[in-house]
Chains A and B, each alone.
Chain A
Amino acid sequence: MSLEIRNLHARIASNGTEILKGLDLVIEKGKVHAVMGPNGSGKSTLSKVIGGHPDYEITEGDILLDGTNILGMEPDVRSRNGLFLAMQYPMEIPGVSNANFIRAALQARLPEGEELEATDYYANLYSKMDSLEMDRKFTARSVNEGFSGGEKKRNEILQMLMLAPKYCILDETDSGLDIDALRIVANGVNSYRSAEVGMLVITHYQRLLDYIVPDIVHVLWNGQIVRHGGKELALELEERGYDFIKEENAA
């Protein structure tokens, strides 16, 4: 069981610029993969393409979720099939409360005609919020509106815990977090690690990987995975910077 990316080529729909140029990656259940890379290497594109963002076009390749090709699926169908995307810049949705938003997402997973049980829902929501040290007032506030950077990231992880996905893509989850917030978010993510869940952590800095320790580290450069290694590869990148990767691949 895995999320498998095969020879993926993707370009920006509006101007045709190719960003991903034949990317291969297999995220098995029970494993945490990290993708690291310099700015502009295609990290954020990767997460959006997996999620099905309309800004990108796939020109070649496949993405298989437990063997099923998801490329033709709408983003919401992918989500209901067990995929979760924690975004680098979560959207602000004025007028839609956080509680109603998550509730609508859970409701969408139920068969037609079945109603979400409100009491259970709130009990579940509050316990997850407590684990992320989120104030109860966040249930009534509009989704991400006026949230600090750290609050938005915690809210992403809250949604992840509530929706219980099989595969999680965490895109630059550490950006905008101070050390305390980083610890809380990482604890939330770690609490969700299990043999039933595959994770892909996308990050520029090694810092996050001190807290969410990966099983495998990949280096993304110019739209392709150019190197694999254990968690020590992240430390090496931190020490030497990305330049040596660039030199190796320029040669």
Chain B
Amino acid sequence: MSNTLEPVATQATESVFTAGPDFASHPEAFRASQSAAWETFSSLPMPRRTDETWRFTDTRKLSLDGFVRAEAVTDAEQASLLLRSKGLGKTSGRMVFANDRLLVCEMHGEDLRAKGVLWLPLEQAIAEHPELIARYFMQEKTVLGSAKFAALHASQVRAGMVLVVPKGVEISLPVETFHWLSGENASVFPHTLIVAGENSKFTVVDHFASAGETTGLAIGVNDIVAGAGSKVTYVAIQDWSRSATAFHLNATTVARDASSLALRLNLGGAFVRDEAVSRLRGPGGRSDMLSVTTALGSQIFDQRTLQVHEAPNAASDLLYKNALNDTARTVFTGLIRVDEGAHKTDAYQKVRNLVLSEEAEANSAPGLEIEADDVRCTHGATSGALDEDEIFYFQSRGIPRRVAQQLVTFGFLSEVFERIPDADLAAHLSDCLHGKLG
């Protein structure tokens, strides 16, 4: 299947702040929710550093002024971006978006169609499956500080991927999506909506990248609804331009005996704010929240997480690893919240920072809020430099310090990829990381 939607004319010069909702080709029913989201966006203040959810962030530098709606890319650029959309070797299906317009949507093999899987661009889902959208689209409250930006996303969204996998269906190869951002000060609002039916099993990979080294704004939202007994793997590889401002807001709900594993590889961006919330709704559920970040130059990565144990006997395991160099900064604040009655919770949270330069700064604030007594919760945060004995070991084998540092950094970060069950996907993540570390 190949499907290209007509680009909709926009007033490219007007700021996304003042333009109002972007109705695109959405049907009337959805437009109402967009207008409401716009109202919310307009009424909420910009975050301030004194807000608990923005602690450690220099919010004065956070400005959305000047960003405009992205225009459709030219045919020539489309062709070039399609060529650059290199992901996994084998997938069940692939969508490519540029500036929030679909360029390509192709199924590979019969895996998706034959099994009754609903896999389609968001715009089509909004038009054809309003009940689905009403039920699953951005239904969880944005609680980690970016409610304003989530509202902006909801009012502007036009592109993204929707995947609904029926009960008992397993998809052997991942589905893959590319989102490209092109043009000075352009903004995109990519969305990924994943609904896993009972006992289904599949993998989704999102790639986010800029066409060139331009400033831009990306506010992405992704919803993962893991139904009972399902097993969902979600990987996002973020490589926006080093001048881009980016938000990635995730909301995951995990039902009884379901398991969700989400990994984010952060490479690009000037200022990147990640918010990830996992809600353990059913007993026996499990959520793995993983992140790998290389912060170079003056990059700022601002990561906020929440693990909410609403049901007993569930497990969550968070591991965030950051390698910082130059004048980069990272912020991690995470919270494990165990609600009353969520006994036999097993929750873990760990952030590890490898600080490689004098000017790099790592902030960590791992938190626990426990309202049940029969739980096992631990968290840890470490920050430190390279181990000189390790470096000596490399050097004693003739490997120069610079190479040793790269190898150790790569080893430190890529350990997280061992948690990805799919070997090809893990190898792809390693390749992407290599690309940045050199």
Touch test A–B (CB under 8 Å): yes
Contact check, B398 vs A105: say whether CB atoms are below 8 A apart.
yes
Whether A96 and B400, one on each chain, are in contact in the complex, defined by CB atoms closer than 8 angstroms, is: no
Residues of A within 8 A of B387 (CB): 91
A142: chain B residues at CB < 8 Å are 411
| A75 in the interface (beta carbon within 8 A) | yes
Residue in chain A with minimal CB distance to B400: A76
Residue A87, interface by CB 8 Å: yes
Q: Are A108 and B403 interface neighbours, CB within 8 A?
A: yes
Q: Are B388 and A54 in contact (CB under 8 A)?
A: yes
- Our pick among A78, A94, A108 for the contact of B411 (Cβ within 8 Å) is A94
> 6 closest pairs, A vs B, by CB?
A95-B411, A75-B395, A79-B398, A96-B411, A76-B395, A105-B397
Chain B residues numbered 100-129 whose CB sits less than 8 Å from any CB in chain A: none
Chain A contacts for B403, CB-based, 8 A: 104, 108
A54, A74, A93 interface centre (most CB from chain B within 10 Å): A93
Note all chain A residues with C-beta closer than 8 A to B389: 91
B400-424 vs A, Cβ < 8 Å mask (1 yes, 0 no): 1101100110111111000000000
> How far in angstroms is the closest Cβ of chain B from A155?
11
A157 to B412, CA, bound (A): 25
B58 CB–A CB distance under 8 Å:
no
CB atoms of B395 and A79 under 8 A apart: yes
- A45 on the interface (CB 8 Å rule)? no
Instruction: Check if A52 is an interface residue, CB within 8 A of chain B.
Output: yes
Query: Given A76-B398, A79-B396, are A94 and B407 also a contact pair (CB < 8 Å)?
Result: no
Residues in A neighbouring B399, C-beta threshold 8 A: 76, 79, 104-105, 108
One digit per residue, 1 when the CB lies within 8 angstroms of any chain B CB and 0 when it does not, for chain A 66-87 equals 0000000011101110001101
CB pairs A–B below 8 angstroms (25 shown): A52-B396, A54-B388, A74-B395, A75-B392, A75-B396, A76-B394, A76-B399, A76-B404, A78-B396, A79-B396, A84-B396, A91-B389, A91-B393, A93-B390, A94-B411, A94-B415, A95-B411, A95-B415, A96-B410, A104-B407, A105-B397, A105-B398, A108-B399, A108-B403, A142-B411
Q: Does B412 lie within 8 Å of A51, measured CB to CB?
A: no
Q: Give the CA-CA distance A105 to B396 in the complex, in Å.
A: 9
Instruction: Say whether A74 contacts B401, CB under 8 Å.
Output: yes
User: Whole-angstrom distance between the alpha carbons of A109 and B407 in the complex?
Assistant: 16
Smallest Cβ distance from B192 to chain A, in angstroms?
28
Tell whether, in the assembled complex, residue B393 and residue A90 are in contact, meaning their CB atoms are under 8 Å apart. yes
Chain B residues lying within 8 Å of A51, measured Cβ to Cβ, are: 392, 396
Interface residues, chain B, with chain A CB atoms under 8 Å away: 387-390, 392-401, 403-404, 407-408, 410-415
Q: What's the least CB distance linking B263 to chain A, in Å?
A: 15
Q: Is the CB of A100 closer than 8 A to any CB of chain B?
A: yes
Q: Does A26 contact B (CB under 8 A)?
A: no
Docked CA distance A84–B415 (Å): 28
Question: B412 contacts which of A84, A94, A108 (Cβ < 8 Å)?
Answer: A94
- Alpha-carbon distance between A54 and B390 when the two chains are bound, in angstroms: 12
Q: CB distance A108 to B400 under 8 Å?
A: yes
Q: Which residues of A contact B397 (CB under 8 A)?
A: 76, 79, 101-102, 105, 159, 163
B415 to chain A, nearest CB (A): 4
The reply to whether the CB of A207 lies closer than 8 angstroms to some CB of chain B is no
B411 contact set on A, CB distance < 8 A: 93-96, 142
State A79–B403 Cα separation when bound (angstroms).
14
Q: Is the CB of A52 within 8 A of B395?
A: yes
A91 to B387, CA, bound (A): 10
Contacting B at CB under 8 A, from A183-220, are none
Nearest CB on B from A96, distance (A)? 4
Cα(A91)–Cα(B411), bound, Å: 14
- Please provide the chain A residues from 134 to 190 with a CB less than 8 Å away from any CB of chain B in the complex: 142, 159, 163
CB contact between A93 and one of B388, B393, B396, B400 (< 8 Å): that residue: B393
Q: Contacts of A91 on B, CB cut-off 8 Å? A: 387, 389-390, 392-393
A101 to chain B, nearest CB (A): 7
- The residue of chain B having its C-beta at the shortest distance from the C-beta of A86 within the complex is B396
A151 to chain B, nearest CB (A): 16
* B393, B396, B400, B411: most-surrounded residue (chain A CB, <10 A): B396
Give the complex CA separation of A46 and B141 in angstroms: 63
Q: Are A96 and B392 in contact (CB under 8 A)?
A: no
User: For A54, what are the chain B residues with a Cβ–Cβ distance below 8 Å?
Assistant: 388, 392
CB-based nearest A residue for B393: A91
Taking CB atoms, residues of chain B closer than 8 Å to A53 are: 392
A198 to B407, CA, bound (A): 30
Closest to A81 in B: B398
Contact, CB under 8 Å: B396 / A95 = no
**In the complex the two chains form, is B407's CB within 8 Å of A100's CB?**
yes
Complex Cα distance, B403 from A80, in Å, reads: 14
Report the separation of the CA atoms of residues A58 and B297 in the bound assembly, to the nearest whole angstrom: 37
**Cα distance A105–B414 in the bound complex, in angstroms:** 20
A-chain residues with CB within 8 Å of residue B401 when the two chains form the complex: 74, 76
Contacts of B408 in A (CB 8 A): 93, 96
Q: In the bound complex, how far is the Cα of B391 from the Cα of A104, in angstroms?
A: 13
**A96 to B206 Cα, complex, angstroms:** 26
> What is the chain A residue whose CB lies nearest that of B321?
A95
Chain B hits for A159, CB < 8 A? 397
Known: A76-B401, A104-B394, A163-B398. 14 other contacts (CB 8 A): A51-B396, A75-B392, A76-B394, A76-B396, A76-B398, A91-B393, A93-B408, A95-B410, A96-B411, A104-B399, A105-B398, A108-B400, A108-B403, A109-B398
Q: How far is the CB of A111 from chain B (nearest CB, A)?
A: 14
Least Cβ–Cβ distance between B176 and chain A, in angstroms: 26
Nearest-neighbour CB distance to chain A for B399, whole angstroms, equals: 5
A82 → B minimal CB distance (Å): 9
A95 touches B392 (CB 8 A): no
Contact A87 B393 (CB under 8 A): yes
- Cα A102 to Cα B396 in complex, Å, equals 12
Q: Which residue of B lies closest to A96 (CB)?
A: B411
CA of A87 to CA of B411, assembled, Å: 21
Give the chain B neighbours of A96 by CB distance below 8 A.
Answer: 407-408, 410-411
